[in-house]
């Protein structure tokens, strides 16, 4: 037997509920799409930030020594130029004051840059020449110390006595009058007991390193902006995809709703037409017949005493036909809503339905109940009863069966009802095979209780099975005692 599953995972009322499973599933799918994207972008941003800072530190660590080495080479070059400029005088062997003044004059004229100059001290710390700070000339600066207490001139003289070299120290910058870091180079003019020195302020080194750090920070910010832009575009694409999916599903749901509304209207009209035919062809004709018998009897009774006896058979036949009419009305009433379903419950109503169907169609009908049995909500009883009515109607109209078996079974989790016939079945793979009004109504009734409807059909017959969870309340449905089969 081929099997087709015609259950759906939601009904229309549930689909529009704020807590619909499909809506929660879509929200989870969006979260699963967006959260990894956000996490990945954050991880990339943190990695860029960490690597950028690391590269900036490594670059500063690599460039700083190079800049310092360049400054040292520049200082050595300047001091060598100054030594060469005074060589004709100093190396001539003269020690008189005129020679010394000439050397001071030559050194005072030598400048480089905005704050590049040469200075001369004797070995006792007396300033002999300072072109940018003449107020220091003649003063003894042996005890001069910087803000941290380090003796400045003493360190310079010590380095000169050692043969010369580089000395970092703090000194007031002539152009700004601010104390800044300075790298000096000194050497001794031993024959005269002098110290010749010069220096370069290191603010440009610090500015260069600061510019490098700013450029690194700008590059990091630019990369983070790019990552943020990519993340925003990706999030917008995900959101647009989700919106398109929601719109598409919304349109599909509206289309299905319109189709369902049309089928419901058609089903109602067909049911009204069937009831009208039954009333017209059955009850109305019977009542006309009763009216005819009563009128005939009335005519006999009013015609004279000799015809009174002829009225009795007519009244008797009228009463019989009236009883038949009452039976027909009762049959139609049972078809609409059997009282036994409310009085004795689902199982008794199924037994009664089977006997009635068998008596009317001549098919052998057996009703089997398995499990503990019990009481169910009116919505469950009505739904299973209506599905059975619809299935029996399909068997009568289409199956060509000789027997039908109705089986109910209950376990700890669900209540199931199966209707099995031995008819010729139908091809479930045919387009539209499961789209008929009857099957559609059965499907919607099952889904309203969060149930599942399964159809298996083949040459040996058809089985329709509906399973309803025992503890799942129906959604979007109300029991309708006037609902036609």
Report whether pLDDT(433) > 80: no
- CA-CA distance, 264 to 256, in Å (whole number)? 12
Look at residue 29 and tell me whether its pLDDT is greater than 50.
yes
Q: Would you say 290 and 327 are in contact if contact means Cβ atoms under 8 Å apart?
A: no
Instruction: State yes or no: pLDDT of 376 exceeds 90.
Output: no
445 in a structural domain: yes
Residue range 46-66: average pLDDT?
79
Q: Which of 133, 274, 123, 135 is nearest to 192 (CA)?
A: 123
- Asked whether residue 379 carries a pLDDT value surpassing 70, the answer given is yes
Residue 442 lies in a domain: yes
Q: What is the DSSP letter of 467?
A: E
Banded pLDDT at 210 (limits 50, 70, 90): confident
Structural domain includes residue 50: no
Is residue 211 pLDDT above 90, yes or no? no
Which of 17-21, 345-349, 475-479 has the largest mean confidence?
345-349
Residue where one domain finishes, among candidates 146, 173, 201: 201
* 17: pLDDT strictly greater than 80: no
Q: Are 307 and 300 in contact (CB under 8 A)?
A: yes
The band of 84, judged by pLDDT with boundaries at 50, 70 and 90, is: very high
Q: Which of 8-22, 106-120, 318-332 is the least confident region?
A: 8-22
Quick one: pLDDT at residue 435? 55
Sheet hosting strand 194-201, strand order edge to edge: 127-129, 118-122, 194-201, 179-189, 165-172
Quote the pLDDT of residue 1: 43
pLDDT of residue 439: 78
Given 201, 225, 242, the domain boundary residue is 201
Average pLDDT on 395-419 reads 86
Task: Quote the CA–CA distance of 363 and 347 in Å, as a whole number.
Answer: 20
Per-residue b or e along 118-153, where b marks 16 or more CB atoms closer than 10 Å to that residue's CB:
bbbbebebbbbbbbeeeebeeeebeebeeeeeebbb
Whether 121 and 140 have beta carbons less than 8 Å apart is answered as no
CATH number at residue 183: 3.30.450.20
| pLDDT at position 305 | 67
Mean pLDDT score of the chain, rounded to an integer?
79
- Of the listed ranges 88-92, 108-112, 146-150, 337-341, the one predicted with least confidence: 337-341
pLDDT at residue 378 is higher than 70: yes
For residues 319-324, average pLDDT: 80
Distance CA 349, CA 340 (A): 6
Across 167-196, average pLDDT? 92
Percent of residues, the chain, with pLDDT higher than 90: 22
d(CA 323, CA 327): 6
In a domain, 193, yes or no: yes
Residue 20 pLDDT: 52
Q: Which of the listed residues 201, 232, 255 is the one where a domain comes to its end?
A: 201
For residue 158, being part of any structural domain is answered with yes
Residues 450 and 7 sit within 8 Å (Cβ to Cβ): no
Instruction: Check whether 170 has a pLDDT greater than 80.
Output: yes
What local confidence, expressed as pLDDT, does residue 18 receive? 42
The verdict on residue 123 lying in a domain is: yes
Give CB contacts under 8 A, 24+ apart, made by 350-354. Answer: 350/385, 350/388, 350/406, 350/408, 353/385, 353/388, 353/389, 353/392, 354/404, 354/406
Choose from 3-7, 25-29, 190-194, 480-484 the range with maximum mean pLDDT. 190-194
Token pair for 259: 């189709």
> What residues does 465 pair with on adjacent strands?
418, 454
Rounded CA-CA distance 3/78 in Å is 100
Task: Check residue 232 and give its pLDDT.
Answer: 83
* Residue 372, C-beta contacts closer than 8 angstroms, at least 6 positions apart: 410
Give the total number of structural domains in the chain: 2
Q: How far apart are CA 356 and CA 365, in angstroms?
A: 10
**Structural domain containing residue 140:** 93-201
What are the phi and psi torsion angles at 141 (to 5°)?
-110, 25
Cα separation, 479 vs 445, in Å, equals 11
Angle between helices 378-394 and 346-361 (to 10 degrees): 20
Give the least confident one: 80-89, 298-307, 316-325, 423-432. Answer: 423-432
Q: CATH code at 461?
A: 3.30.565.10
Spatial separation of the C-alpha atoms in residues 224 and 68, rounded to whole Å: 33
Q: What is the pLDDT of residue 150?
A: 93
Contact 407, 368 (CB under 8 A): yes
pLDDT level of residue 184 (50, 70, 90 thresholds)? very high
Residue 184 domain-assigned?
yes
């Amino acid at each position: 037997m081929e099997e087709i599953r015609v259950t759906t995972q939601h009904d229309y009322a549930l689909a529009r509920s704020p807590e619909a499973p499909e809506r929660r599933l879509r929200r989870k799918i969006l979260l699963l799409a967006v959260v990894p994207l956000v996490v990945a972008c954050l991880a990339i941003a943190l990695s860029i930030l960490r690597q950028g800072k690391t590269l900036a530190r490594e670059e500063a660590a690599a460039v700083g020594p190079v800049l310092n080495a360049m400054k040292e080479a520049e200082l050595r070059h300047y001091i060598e130029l100054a030594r060469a400029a005074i060589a004709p005088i100093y190396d001539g062997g003269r020690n008189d004051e005129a020679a010394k003044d000439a050397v001071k004059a030559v050194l005072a004229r030598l400048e480089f840059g905005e704050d590049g100059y040469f200075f001369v001290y004797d070995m006792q710390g007396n300033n002999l020449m300072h072109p940018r700070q003449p107020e220091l000339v003649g003063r003894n600066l042996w005890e001069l110390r910087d803000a941290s207490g380090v003796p400045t001139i003493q360190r310079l003289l010590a380095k000169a006595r050692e043969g010369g070299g580089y000395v970092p120290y703090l000194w007031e910058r002539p152009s700004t009058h601010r104390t800044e870091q300075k790298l000096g180079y000194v050497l001794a003019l031993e024959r005269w007991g002098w110290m010749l020195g010069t220096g370069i302020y290191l603010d440009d080194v610090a500015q260069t390193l600061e510019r490098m750090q700013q450029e690194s920070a700008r590059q990091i910010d630019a990369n983070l902006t790019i990552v943020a832009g990519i993340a925003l575009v990706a999030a917008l694409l995900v959101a647009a995809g989700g919106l398109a999916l929601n719109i598409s599903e919304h349109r599909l749901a509206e289309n299905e709703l319109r189709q369902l509304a049309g089928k419901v209207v058609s089903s109602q009209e067909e049911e009204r037409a069937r009831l009208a035919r039954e009333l017209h062809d059955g009850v109305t004709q019977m009542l006309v017949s009763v009216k005819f018998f009563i009128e005939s009897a009335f005519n006999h009774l009013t015609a004279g005493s000799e015809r009174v006896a002829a009225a009795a058979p007519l009244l008797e036949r009228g009463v019989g036909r009236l009883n038949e009419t009452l039976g027909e009305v009762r049959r139609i009433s049972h078809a609409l809503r059997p009282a036994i379903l409310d009085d004795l419950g689902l199982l008794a109503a199924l037994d009664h339905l089977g006997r009635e169907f068998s008596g009317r169609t001549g098919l052998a009908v057996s009703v089997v109940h398995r499990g503990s049995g019990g009481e169910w909500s009116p919505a469950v009883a009505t739904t299973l009863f209506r599905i059975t009515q619809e299935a029996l109607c399909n068997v009568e109209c289409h199956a060509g069966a000789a027997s039908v078996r109705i089986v109910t079974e209950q376990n700890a989790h669900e209540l199931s009802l199966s209707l099995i016939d031995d008819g010729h079945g139908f091809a479930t793979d045919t387009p539209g095979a499961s789209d008929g009004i009857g099957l559609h109504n059965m499907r919607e009734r099952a889904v309203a209780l969060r149930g599942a409807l399964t159809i298996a059909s083949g040459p040996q017959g058809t089985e329709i099975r509906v399973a309803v969870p025992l503890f799942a309340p129906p959604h979007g449905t109300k029991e309708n005692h006037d609902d036609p089969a």
